[in-house]
């Protein structure tokens, strides 16, 4: 199991007690207002990974995993900025979670994009490949971001890329989520344009594609 820092361990303990106040306390000190840095993510992502591993080993139940993620959602919702502090961009970004229901990563990416001056269109989660293609065409998106946490859903990105091509769209598809972090070549295999490991990288990639300076 991955070794955690002291703060990450305290955060795991607080999550196991569903102690929202303590979780917030541990994260707030890490966050700088107006900055799209990933400090809270550096605690939340490894902590939830650790909790996922405990579930895999049979040490905790799925309902504990579920409750931990709900607590993280509540706390992050309050911490992450929803107000753009930077110059706004007119690029139309669409974002969705393919097939699976792990939506916390998408939320974090959305918050960072908003803080960086974008107005991402949230297509939702649990989406089939053709639903993502439909969403892109309906919203006339310039860039599609896809989040996923399961290998079975990651390989479906290929269907989205092919579906977009069939529909005559050549927009870049940017992917992110655990399967792409674990297999560094997977994003290329599924035909994505780029892959980001966290929400700061998501912003960096989008800025490059959008031709904007940091």
Binding site for ligand B12 (CB under 6 A): 41, 44-45, 48-49, 51-53, 56, 62, 65-66, 69, 100-106, 108-109, 145-147, 149-151, 174-178, 196, 198-199, 201-202
CB proximity list for 27: less than 8 A, separation 6 or greater: 11, 40, 43, 44, 75, 76, 79
Q: Longest Cα pair distance anywhere in the chain, in angstroms? A: 51
Pick the closer one to ligand B12 by CB: 144 or 163. 144
CB proximity list for 115: less than 8 A, separation 6 or greater: 34, 35, 36, 80, 81, 83, 84, 85, 86
Least separation in angstroms between CB 144 and ligand B12: 9
Least separation in angstroms between CB 166 and ligand B12: 22
DSSP 140: T
Least separation in angstroms between CB 6 and ligand B12: 20
Pick the closer one to ligand B12 by CB: 89 or 198. 198
> CA angle, corner 62, sides to 76 and 150, nearest 5?
70
Q: Nearest residue to ligand B12, using CB?
A: 176
Nearest-angstrom CA–CA distance, 88 and 55: 42
Least separation in angstroms between CB 104 and ligand B12: 4
Pick the closer one to ligand B12 by CB: 163 or 176. 176
């Amino acid at each position: 199991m991955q070794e955690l820092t002291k703060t990450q361990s305290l955060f795991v303990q607080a999550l196991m007690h569903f102690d929202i106040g303590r979780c917030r306390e541990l994260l707030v000190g890490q966050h700088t207002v107006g900055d799209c840095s990933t400090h809270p993510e550096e605690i939340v992502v490894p902590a939830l990974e650790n909790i996922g591993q405990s579930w895999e080993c049979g040490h905790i139940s799925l309902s504990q995993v579920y409750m931990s993620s709900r607590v993280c959602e509540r706390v992050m919702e309050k911490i992450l900025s929803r107000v753009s502090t930077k110059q706004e961009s007119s690029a139309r970004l669409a974002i969705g979670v393919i097939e699976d229901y792990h939506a916390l990563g998408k939320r974090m990416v959305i918050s960072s994009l908003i803080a960086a001056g974008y107005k991402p269109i949230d297509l939702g989660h649990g989406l089939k490949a053709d639903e993502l293609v439909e969403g892109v065409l309906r919203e006339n998106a310039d860039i599609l971001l896809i989040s996923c946490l399961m290998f079975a859903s990651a390989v479906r990105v290929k269907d989205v890329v092919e579906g977009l091509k069939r529909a005559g769209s050549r927009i870049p598809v940017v992917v992110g989520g655990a399967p792409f972090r674990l297999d560094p070549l997977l994003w290329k295999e599924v035909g994505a344009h780029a892959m980001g490991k966290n929400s700061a990288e998501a912003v960096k990639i989008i800025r490059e594609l959008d031709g904007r300076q940091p």
